[in-house]
Amino acid sequence: MIRNRGYIYFMLVFAVLLSGCKQSVSTVGTIEIDADKPVLHEGKLPVGITLGGLSKSGKDLLSPNILINSGFELAPRLENCRYDFSRQLLTTPNGYTTFYPVPELLFGWKSRGGFVSLQKSGEQSSVNQYHLSLQPARDSLQRVEVINTAAFSLSRDSQYTFRARLKSSSDSLSISVCLADTAWMPVSTPQRINAGQMWTPVSVTLTSEKDVSQAHLMIKVEGRGTSFIDDIRLVPQGTEESHGLSGELLRLIREFDPGFMRFPDGRTANGFFIDTYPEWTRWMETESRRPIWTLNQQEYTGEFGLKDFLSLSKELRKPPILISNIGITDRGASPRAENIKLLDERVASHIALAQYLLNIYDISKDSVHLSPAIQPGYDMTSYDYFRRFKVMSEKFRDNEIAIDLISSGDITSFQKFSNYIFDVPCTPISSPELSAIVPDIHDDEAMLRQPIMLGECHFSESDSSLFVPKLILRAAFLINAENQVSHLRGLTVTPFLAEVNDGAKYPLIHVDGGRYTPTALYHLMKAFIAMRGTTLRSLNEHTPKDQSPWSPLYASLTSSADNKVFYLKAVNTTRHPLPYKVLFKGKDFSPNKVRSLHFIPKGKTTTTELKDFDHYSTVSDERKLDTSDKEWQYTFKPYEIVFFEFTSR
C-alpha cells in the first residue's frame, strides 16, 4: 500500500514536471519576422558625428591640451556688445548671448600674491592675441602663484608634458611648475624652468605622486621683476596627434565608423557681424590652424581647425559637412538677423568657401560619397532664415556651384533649391507609443510630432514626472529613426564630447584630464551602426487586446541584401520584464544562429534612485537555433536594449 502510494506520488510529480516542460511561458506580445514580405526601403540610415562639444568653460574639447583657455586667447571689447561680468557672457546687438571672457578678467586662472595681468603680445608670429604677465609681490615673500580653474583627475604615477613659451625681465626670477590639488599643495615635484629676456620654448615632465580627483596646474614665480608666459599646453605624456586630434580620440572616431562628419557645432557657428568671420580666400591657403567662425576670430574652437577637419575627412573617407554663418542667430535671440543688405557679402564668402572645398575634393576622383556640403547656420527655423537660405541657394544655382547646401531647419517650401543630403523633411510622428514614453519638453528637440529638418538630435533633460532613462530615450529615438529611414538621409546625436564632471551633458565620449572615455551611448550607437542591415523590413508586433493601447516594446527590423541575416533591434521602455514570442516566417528563412548584444541597467528595478538607470553594462551572447523551430521566446528585461542578429545559412 505504501509502495503504491509512493508510486502514485512519483507519477503525479512526473506528470506535473512533464506538463511544465511542454507549457510555454505566458507572453505579453508576439513579433513576426517574415522574410517573404516586401522590402520597405533599400539603404542604411547614415549616422554621423558633429565634431565639437564645448565644455562649461567654453573651450572646444577636441584639443589634446587639457588646460582651459591655456593660451590666454582673450579678445578686446567688441563695440555695441554687452558684458555680464559675473557670468562671463557676451550679448551681441542682435541679442545673441554666448560665453566670452574679456581681457579685464583673469579667466581660467586663480592667483594669490603679486600681480597678474594680460598683455597684448604685438607679435605677428604669435597664435594668441594675449599673454600672461606675472609679477611677484614686493613683500617679504616676493612671489606670485597661479593655478588653472578647470580641474582634472590624476592617478598615481601618471605623467603629463608641460610646454610653453616664457621670457623674463630679470635673470634673478625663479619660475617653477607642478601639479597641485585644490588647496594649492603640490602633488608632483616642482620643476624649475629658466627664462631669459627673449621668448624661449620650454618643456618639462610632471609626474603625479598620488591619486587626485581635482587637480590643477600651478605656476610659481619668485624674485623681483616680471615673467611672461604664453602658448601653454599640458597633455598626457606620450600623446600622439594626427589631424589636430589626439591618437586616442582618432581611434574612437575610426571605431565608431560615422557615415559623415560635421564641424563645428553650433555655439561657434552662429554669429552676427560680417567682418567677424574670416574671408576664406584671405587666410585659408596659408594658415593650417587658427580659431575659425568666431567673434573677431578669438573665441574658442581650440587647435582643431578647418584644414585638420578636411584632412581627417579625406583620410577616413567620410563626407564633410561644414557649418557656416548665414548672418542670423538662433531662435531665442531678438532681433536675430544682421542687415539683409549684407547678405550679398555673406553669399560671396560662401561661394568662395564652396570653390575652395571643390578644389580640395576632386569628386570625380574621390567619388560622390566624399562630396562635401555646407550647412549655413545651426538649428534654425525662422522665416528670415528661410528667405536667406533661398537667396543663397539661388546664387549657388546661378553660379553652377556643384556643392550641396544643407538647411539648418525645415524649409520644405524651398525644396527645389537643394538636394538636401542628410537633411530632409521628416514625416510627422503621431504614434502613441513614442508619444507616451517621451516627455512633452522633448517634442521639438527629438523630432516627435513636428516635421522638421533633421541635422542633429539633442535632448533637453527635464524634471518631468515621467521618468525615462537617458539611454532608453535615445535608443527609442534611433529605432524610430531607422523605421523612418525613407524620410531621412542621416542624423547625429549631440554633444559628441563633454567633460566627465558636466552632469548636464550626455555625450558619446567623456573627456577628463586629456583622456577620452566612450560612454554607453557611444557603444549603443556603434552597435547600431554595425547592425543596421541594408534593407528595412516590415515588422509585425502584436499585443493582447487587454494590454495598453500602445506597445511597451519599441522595435525595428532590417536585413541583409540576400535575406540570410535579419537584425531585430528592440528596447523595453518599462520597469517590467516583457516575455515575447518571436515567430519566423518565409520559405527561405530558417535561422540556425542568433547573436545578441544586450544593454542592461546596473540599477535594480526596485530602486528609488532613478540615477542608477543611467549606468548600463553590456553583455554579448551567441546561441544555436533549431532550424525546424518556427518560434522562439525571449523575455526583455526591465529597461533593456537588445540588438539581435538572426542568421540563416
pLDDT digits (tens, 9 = 90+) for 548-560: 434 688 899 999 9
Longest CA pairwise span in the chain (Å): 112
Going from N- to C-terminal start, the domains of the chain cover 24-46+531-647, 49-58+243-424+489-527, 82-236
Q: Is the dihedral of CA 35, 39, 41, 42 positive or negative?
A: positive
Return the number of other C-beta atoms located less than 10 Å from residue 162's C-beta.
21
- List Cα–Cα distances, 108 to 172, 186, 402, in angstroms: 28, 19, 44
Across the range 626-635, mean pLDDT stands at: 86
Helix (H) or strand (E) holding 360, with range, is helix 343-360
- pLDDT of residue 382 exceeding 80, the answer is no
3 state SS of 452: coil
Q: How far is Cα 440 from Cα 303, in angstroms, rounded to an integer?
A: 39
Which residues partner with 202 through β-bridges?
164
> What band does 102 get if pLDDT is binned at 50, 70 and 90?
low
Which residues partner with 145 through β-bridges?
112, 220
> What band does 275 get if pLDDT is binned at 50, 70 and 90?
very low
Q: Are 270 and 329 in contact, with CB atoms under 8 Å apart?
A: yes
Q: How far is Cα 18 from Cα 11, in angstroms, rounded to an integer?
A: 10
Superfamily of domain 24-46+531-647: Golgi alpha-mannosidase II (2.60.40.1180)
Which pLDDT score, from 0 to 100, does residue 8 have? Answer: 47
> What band does 117 get if pLDDT is binned at 50, 70 and 90?
confident
Per-residue DSSP letter, 78: P
- pLDDT of residue 645 exceeding 60, the answer is yes
Q: Are 90 and 295 in contact, with CB atoms under 8 Å apart?
A: yes
- Cβ burial of 338 (10 Å; 0-12, 13-18, 19+) is buried
Which pLDDT score, from 0 to 100, does residue 581 have? Answer: 92
Q: How far is Cα 136 from Cα 97, in angstroms, rounded to an integer?
A: 36
| Maximum average pLDDT range among 317-331, 497-511, 608-622, 632-646 | 632-646
Which pLDDT score, from 0 to 100, does residue 98 have? Answer: 65
Contacts of 171 (CB under 8 A, 6+ apart): 196, 197
82-236 carries CATH number 2.60.120.260: yes
- pLDDT of residue 191 exceeding 90, the answer is yes
Whose grid coordinates read 554621423? 48
- List Cα–Cα distances, 518 to 150, 206, 251, 253, 498, in angstroms: 21, 26, 11, 10, 11
> Which residue in 257, 258, 643, 641 sits closest to 475, CA to CA?
641
Helix (H) or strand (E) holding 91, with range, is strand 89-91
Cell numbers found for residue 198: 627673449
Common-topology check for domains 24-46+531-647 and 82-236 = no
Which pLDDT score, from 0 to 100, does residue 151 have? Answer: 86
Q: How far is Cα 410 from Cα 396, in angstroms, rounded to an integer?
A: 19
pTM of the model: 0.79
Which pLDDT score, from 0 to 100, does residue 4 have? Answer: 52
